[in-house]
């Protein structure tokens, strides 16, 4: 208790707050750095000329009328468990994960409340709180050479206590498989003296800056970690059934140039974290920016897509087998799509006018395609969808009503989670 800075009465107060009887809903946010090609993933154009359609062909799925890329045969067999938005229309165009972590455009930073816009997981942390021993908002985002592909955001005007707790090494030169908690490697998580030191360091900083609310929340969070093995156990994949772990494929800890490593078993860790009590887990996976002369879209796709197919299908299978698919939602996306016309390097360039989002679980209505693009994949042909609509849908999966929920900023002004008029995607939640 001394390490957490709480009296016995305060400890009981924290425990009572954690036993509110809330159902445990969660979201896994999978970010693909660099802009994966909508035309080569889930919106193929087989009738277009070769300079548009590329090398891949669509294959049928187990949902009549729904086709996806031939590089995803496992996902094709389970299309009834997910939905694909083909008409994500308001990509910012920046090589940055900011929009996938906040729903906001870069230009909106100028008009942000004092402290900045929070990551979307910070809203969830503030409104729903943490479960015993497991913070609500967790990050498996690896630091990347292109810095903006590795930032899961922060608490913004809500304060540092609601920032994502970083669970991977902050040193980009460290081995990618070395998971950490506040700079403490996985094999030292049980060293309570080191953890107390990390807590004391934060307390000193908070005291000096007057962040009392951050300090109180962090103390409670730290105490939960000290007294509960849930987080440590979730991070330790050696405790997983080997048969289940093998489904996901084999990790590749090498960084993909300036992107993230191919740590495909982090999909498994994300499942273990939400099962342990996390509400939002964000992760980045590999690198999908291949339009240079040394990257060539189609050869790299043949290397990358099969492993993604294996890992993502394993995650969906796990969630269903464990009865979590009604409570745990999954979203997978990147910052923008790719040009319909293939360039001289057999690759596709940046293209913000059309993008996709893959959504699964969360008790949503699945087995459908939402929206479409024109015959060349230039832009939405019907049902354009905004990033904030996706977030409104995810908040809905968590049981948060975006029409009524607000959080007050440091100036006393209440803010809604999404802009006025933005609603959850009716096809998914209606």
pLDDT tens digits along 24-44: 899 999 999 999 999 999 999
What is the crossing angle of helices 120-128 and 387-397, to 10°? 30
> What backbone phi and psi angles, to 5 degrees, belong to 142?
-75, 140
pLDDT given for residue 232 in this prediction: 81
Cα pseudo-dihedral 171, 173, 178, 182, rounded to 10: -10
pLDDT given for residue 231 in this prediction: 84
Distance CA(373)–CA(380), nearest Å, equals: 4
Distance CA(128)–CA(110), nearest Å, equals: 28
| Lowest mean per-residue pLDDT among 5-14, 25-34, 158-167, 357-366 | 5-14
Residue 157 has pLDDT above 90, yes or no: yes
Measured CA distances, 211 to 14, 89, 160, 218, 326 (Å): 19, 39, 9, 10, 37
Compute the C-alpha angle 297/173/171, nearest 5°. Answer: 110
Distance CA(397)–CA(24), nearest Å, equals: 11
Distance CA(338)–CA(420), nearest Å, equals: 30
pLDDT given for residue 236 in this prediction: 86
Q: What is the largest CA-CA distance in the chain?
A: 71
379 and 38 Cβ atoms separated by less than 8 Å: no
CATH of domain 22-182+237-429: 3.40.720.10
Residue 361 has pLDDT above 90, yes or no: yes
pLDDT given for residue 230 in this prediction: 82
Model confidence at 82, pLDDT cuts 50, 70, 90, reads very high
Instruction: Look at 144 and 204; give whichever has higher pLDDT.
Output: 144
Residue 211 has pLDDT above 80, yes or no: no
Counted residue by residue, the chain has a size of 430
pLDDT given for residue 263 in this prediction: 95
pLDDT tens digits along 126-140: 999 998 789 999 999
Evaluated on CA atoms 106, 112, 116, 122, the torsion sign reads negative
Residue 120 has pLDDT above 90, yes or no: yes
pLDDT given for residue 160 in this prediction: 86
3-state DSSP helix/strand/coil % of the chain, to nearest 5: 35, 20, 45
Model confidence at 124, pLDDT cuts 50, 70, 90, reads very high
144 and 136 Cβ atoms separated by less than 8 Å: no
The closest of 249, 275, 273, 276 to 263, measured between CA atoms, is: 249
Token duo for residue 2: 């001394």
pLDDT given for residue 133 in this prediction: 80
195 and 219 Cβ atoms separated by less than 8 Å: no
Distance CA(53)–CA(283), nearest Å, equals: 30
Q: Where exactly are the structural domains of the chain?
A: 22-182+237-429
pLDDT given for residue 233 in this prediction: 86
Token duo for residue 162: 């609601």
Average pLDDT score over residue span 222-235: 72
Residue 365 has pLDDT above 90, yes or no: yes
3-state secondary structure of 284: strand
pLDDT tens digits along 321-340: 999 999 999 999 999 999 99
Q: What is the pTM of this model?
A: 0.88
> What backbone phi and psi angles, to 5 degrees, belong to 28?
-110, 120
Residue 23 has pLDDT above 80, yes or no: no
Q: How far is CA 181 from the centre of its chain?
A: 18
Average pLDDT score over residue span 266-293: 95
Distance CA(356)–CA(262), nearest Å, equals: 21
Q: What is the mean pLDDT of the chain?
A: 87
Q: How many CA atoms lie within 13 A of 245 on its CB side?
A: 15
pLDDT given for residue 2 in this prediction: 35
Token duo for residue 429: 């939640």
196 and 3 Cβ atoms separated by less than 8 Å: yes
379 and 373 Cβ atoms separated by less than 8 Å: yes
67 and 59 Cβ atoms separated by less than 8 Å: yes
Residue 176 has pLDDT above 80, yes or no: no
316 and 2 Cβ atoms separated by less than 8 Å: no
pLDDT given for residue 38 in this prediction: 98
Distance CA(136)–CA(370), nearest Å, equals: 30
Model confidence at 313, pLDDT cuts 50, 70, 90, reads very high
Residue 47 has pLDDT above 90, yes or no: yes
Residue 21 has pLDDT above 60, yes or no: no
> Which helix (H) or strand (E) covers residue 289, if one does?
none
Token duo for residue 107: 């230009």
pLDDT given for residue 224 in this prediction: 63
pLDDT given for residue 296 in this prediction: 83
Distance CA(125)–CA(67), nearest Å, equals: 37
């Amino acid at each position: 208790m001394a390490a957490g800075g709480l009296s016995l009465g305060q400890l009981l107060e924290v425990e009572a707050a954690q036993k509110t009887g809330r159902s445990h809903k969660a979201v896994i946010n999978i970010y693909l750095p660099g802009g994966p090609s909508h035309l080569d993933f889930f919106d193929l154009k087989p009738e277009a000329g070769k300079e548009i359609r590329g090398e891949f062909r669509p294959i049928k799925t187990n949902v009549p009328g729904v086709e996806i890329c031939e590089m995803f045969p496992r996902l094709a067999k389970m299309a009834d468990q997910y939905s694909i938005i083909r008409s994500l229309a308001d990509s910012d165009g920046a090589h940055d994960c900011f929009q996938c972590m906040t729903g906001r455009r870069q230009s909106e930073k100028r008009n942000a409340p004092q402290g900045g816009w929070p990551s979307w997981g910070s809203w969830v942390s503030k409104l729903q709180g943490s479960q015993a021993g497991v913070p609500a908002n967790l990050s498996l985002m690896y630091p990347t050479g292109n810095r903006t592909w590795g930032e899961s955001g922060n608490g913004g005007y809500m304060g540092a206590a609601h920032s994502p707790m970083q669970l991977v090494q902050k040193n980009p030169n460290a081995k990618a498989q070395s998971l950490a908690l506040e700079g403490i490697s996985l094999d030292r998580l049980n060293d309570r003296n080191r953890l107390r030191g990390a807590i004391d360091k934060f307390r000193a900083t908070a005291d000096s800056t007057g962040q009392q609310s951050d300090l109180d929340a962090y103390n409670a969070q730290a105490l939960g970690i000290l007294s509960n093995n849930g987080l440590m156990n979730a991070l330790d994949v050696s405790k997983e059934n080997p048969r289940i772990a093998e489904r996901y494929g084999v990790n590749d800890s090498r960084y993909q140039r300036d992107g993230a490593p191919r740590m495909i078993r982090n999909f498994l860790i994300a499942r273990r974290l939400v099962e342990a009590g996390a509400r939002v887990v964000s992760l980045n996976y590999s690198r999908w920016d291949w339009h240079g002369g040394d990257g060539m879209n189609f050869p790299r796709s043949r290397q990358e897509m099969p492993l993604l197919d294996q890992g993502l299908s394993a995650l969906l299978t796990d969630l269903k087998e464990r009865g979590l698919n009604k409570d745990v939602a999954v979203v997978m996306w990147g910052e923008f799509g790719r040009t319909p016309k293939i360039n001289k390097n057999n690759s596709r360039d940046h293209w913000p006018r059309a993008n996709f989002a893959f959504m699964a679980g969360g008790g949503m209505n699945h087995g459908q395609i939402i929206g479409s693009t024109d015959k060349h994949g230039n832009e939405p042909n019907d049902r354009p969808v905004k990033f904030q609509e996706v977030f409104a849908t995810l908040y809905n999966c968590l049981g948060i009503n975006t029409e009524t929920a607000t959080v007050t900023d440091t100036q006393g002004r209440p803010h809604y989670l999404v802009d006025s008029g933005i609603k959850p995607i009716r096809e998914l939640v209606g």
